[in-house]
Structure 1
């Protein structure tokens, strides 16, 4: 068996004595075996005893918080659980990857994320209340610690959600988005992994929007803003609006398109577009007609089809111009569907798309 290890984040082959991947900062490495629990990994070689590689940040004191475990890996950072030892307060700490420590663009994004969520200040938006720098020069932010599951994990377990549950979840997302849009903030990377269902002590759950690292500040609730670089597309291809894929200006309507894709996925268990490559996927968002959700869930009411498809129109000017009017339409749709369930003999509702304010 080879004495080299494979980075589980980027796939880079690294020497066995290396504890941190030089490309992306991943600390936990394994040979050809499942990843053991954080914060250590057991690496075995023929004829030798197992050795433990420890994350060098575990146990580090950052201000009043001590890092206890690494709990997540993202495109720009590593996320740790931290604790205030005296009072037991738990926090989440996002630390820039080592190779991004000297990237002014990534540092600016981390700071912009902190500023964006503090401009919004809504229960449905992750709270960030600290910003600092590690001894090695990397920046970090301190966030509230959330107990629960991201939506992508829930969909992986259940496939899809019943329509009433899906629309209830969407209502909470739109409430948080309405606050963001009201503060002039466009998220630009809405997807199931950035929608977190927080578990409360009584067993109930509520929604938090995460990761405002790609957020843009506009001129107001319906204002549009140019993307930072027109030669570089940022976002997640599966959920990217046509104008975002083209590198054009973005606005609240851009987030609503992404939520159209997310809602389609929640209700049907699949994405509206599937591509052979990221570029192919972006071209479908730009050019292809989205299928009706009822093509995959035959008993879906036509009004739900119409509601989702209005968010997926190619021209941003034909979508609702912010989350608030869309949430009003959603409230009406939910009332209509409840009335239909109460009176099953009533014809299925078919609601026209709302006119733009």
Structure 2
């Protein structure tokens, strides 16, 4: 499954898996269930190794003792075999977490049954007495502490496991191996009964902590399921609506991030609010859709976006190299559609870059583009008097490798600045390289402000049509007036710049080959 980038500014949102497990089964989010499943994997392997090692050690120690080792061999091999079988189950990927964990409860009962019958039988056969306490009691207590389960499931499992102790005593009595009286049955019940009580107590604490964590993740009507990425200011989570069968990506900013002074905290909150409001006002299908936003009782600001299945353009080129010209044109045309809508509403994105453009599967459409992260959006209808685009302590807004010359020189950012950034993105897609490269940020800014770019065809072995190269270089013109004058104009120029097309069939074939849909669960 694709994962959310570690940088929160890159809205790399992953394909959902196991989406409804928070509403059924163990009642925990998939990421907590996955952790419990991993513990079950390790535990089953550990038990198998320990019992097989115990068998080897006892074979060596008891070789000259004259003790009948047949029963202990059966016990060790049976427990080892059960553990290996369960370990294999935990590794079968198409089995859901809940199924695997419920199978673990069956494994616990079977484990206790083997111990409760085999160990007393071995002890009586060789030493003439039946122990009232076996390792089954320890298993009953420890299992729910290692692998949490709902209290009711823990209680029923513990009772079944505890019943194996008097049942084992009954087997010995019924077969005439070790006759028993009422006191023997009572003795066989005392330790397991205490173990059941301790198991239930421990389960309520451990499982309760997991439930509290799950509740703490709720943002409005959304339940946090899986952390997709973490950045300096907050986190992005995969989430599920508690009433609707819809998953989403929730971007949050934690209260401790705001402990930086009142003015700075206000600036951070204003940016998140601006991003939410700007995103909500956009109508282009190629702008990420906003579902909700708000502030929790604990002071956590959040907003909820659509969850996408795909990858950003930074990752696309990094993993698969420069892209065919026809595909680049199709992608950029959709970016222009989003920007045309934003510009028509008087908004400038100001941070167009590969990491903020996402190509994905959307229904039956492949290579459906979404423009993300409108956190630096600026309204041309409310520019400051001095035209400055500086924030905080005089820090330029945007990403240096994709910043327009006029933004660098005097802080002016109109729609032409977004056009320049689109040209930088096109350059990256076609060549796998940035327009300019430098050792320091200042040198990079100077090059964008004053240096002419090398034609992309000179920096790649990929075929780039001359007309497309001309459009890209026009976008990278130093003067805004020399660039395409609108996103719609740029889209039209791009459309006529290549002879071939990247049709839906090609797009679907690429996704099936490189990013096939994985089954959930």
Extract unaligned runs of 5+ from structure 1. Answer: 1-7, 11-36, 43-49, 340-357
Residue among 415, 418, 422 paired with 1:252 = 415
The 1-side partners of 2:420 and 2:452 are apart by 13
Tell whether the 8 Å contact from 2:325 to 2:465 is kept in structure 1 after alignment: no
Tell me how far 1:88 sits from its aligned partner: 2.5
Tell whether the 8 Å contact from 1:101 to 1:137 is kept in structure 2 after alignment: no
Distance 1:296 1:242, change over 3 A: same
In the alignment, what sits opposite 2:474? Answer: 310
The 2-side partners of 1:122 and 1:182 are apart by 11
The 1-side partners of 2:359 and 2:267 are apart by 30
The 1-side partners of 2:454 and 2:360 are apart by 32
Of Structure 1 and Structure 2, the greater strand share is in 1
The 2-side partners of 1:75 and 1:235 are apart by 16
- Local SS of the residue matching 1:212: coil
Residues 243-284 of structure 1: CA deviation (Å, up to 9, x unaligned): 222342111100111111110010011111011011111111
Tell me how far 1:174 sits from its aligned partner: 0.7
What RMSD over aligned residues (CA atoms) do the two structures have, in Å? Answer: 3.1
In the alignment, what sits opposite 2:339? Answer: 177
Distance 1:304 1:203, change over 3 A: closer
Distance 1:319 1:225, change over 3 A: farther
The 2-side partners of 1:275 and 1:111 are apart by 34
The answer to whether residue 373 in structure 2 is matched with residue 211 in structure 1 is yes
The 2-side partners of 1:240 and 1:76 are apart by 22
Tell me how far 1:73 sits from its aligned partner: 2.6
Show the 5 A alignment for 1:185-224: 185-202=347-364, 204-219=366-381
Tell me how far 1:111 sits from its aligned partner: 0.7
Please identify, of 153-162 and 73-82, the stretch whose mean Cα deviation from structure 2 is larger: 73-82
Tell whether the 8 Å contact from 1:58 to 1:69 is kept in structure 2 after alignment: no
The answer to whether residue 284 in structure 2 is matched with residue 127 in structure 1 is no
Tell me how far 1:201 sits from its aligned partner: 4.2
Of Structure 1 and Structure 2, the greater helix share is in 2
Please identify, of 134-143 and 121-130, the stretch whose mean Cα deviation from structure 2 is larger: 134-143
In the alignment, what sits opposite 2:404? Answer: 241
The 1-side partners of 2:360 and 2:325 are apart by 20
Distance 1:194 1:75, change over 3 A: farther
Residues 205-225 of structure 1: CA deviation (Å, up to 9, x unaligned): 3000000000101139xxx96
Show the 5 A alignment for 1:21-32: none
The two structures have a TM-score, normalised by structure 2, of 0.52
Show the 5 A alignment for 1:307-346: 307-334=471-498, 337-338=499-500
Distance 1:138 1:166, change over 3 A: same
In the alignment, what sits opposite 1:68? Answer: 225
Residue among 223, 234, 245 paired with 1:88 = 245
The higher relative CO (CA closer than 8 Å, separation ≥ 6) is in 2
In the alignment, what sits opposite 1:166? Answer: 328
- Local SS of the residue matching 2:497: helix
- Local SS of the residue matching 1:204: strand
The 2-side partners of 1:304 and 1:64 are apart by 47
Please identify, of 242-251 and 210-219, the stretch whose mean Cα deviation from structure 2 is larger: 242-251
Distance 1:282 1:127, change over 3 A: same
Tell whether the 8 Å contact from 1:233 to 1:247 is kept in structure 2 after alignment: no
Residues 182-220 of structure 1: CA deviation (Å, up to 9, x unaligned): 111111111111111121343623000000000101139
Please identify, of 272-281 and 297-306, the stretch whose mean Cα deviation from structure 2 is larger: 297-306
In the alignment, what sits opposite 1:269? Answer: 432
The 2-side partners of 1:286 and 1:301 are apart by 27
Show the 5 A alignment for 1:290-301: 290-297=453-460, 299-301=463-465
The 2-side partners of 1:77 and 1:281 are apart by 28
The 1-side partners of 2:467 and 2:449 are apart by 24
The two structures have a TM-score, normalised by structure 1, of 0.74
Tell whether the 8 Å contact from 1:57 to 1:67 is kept in structure 2 after alignment: no
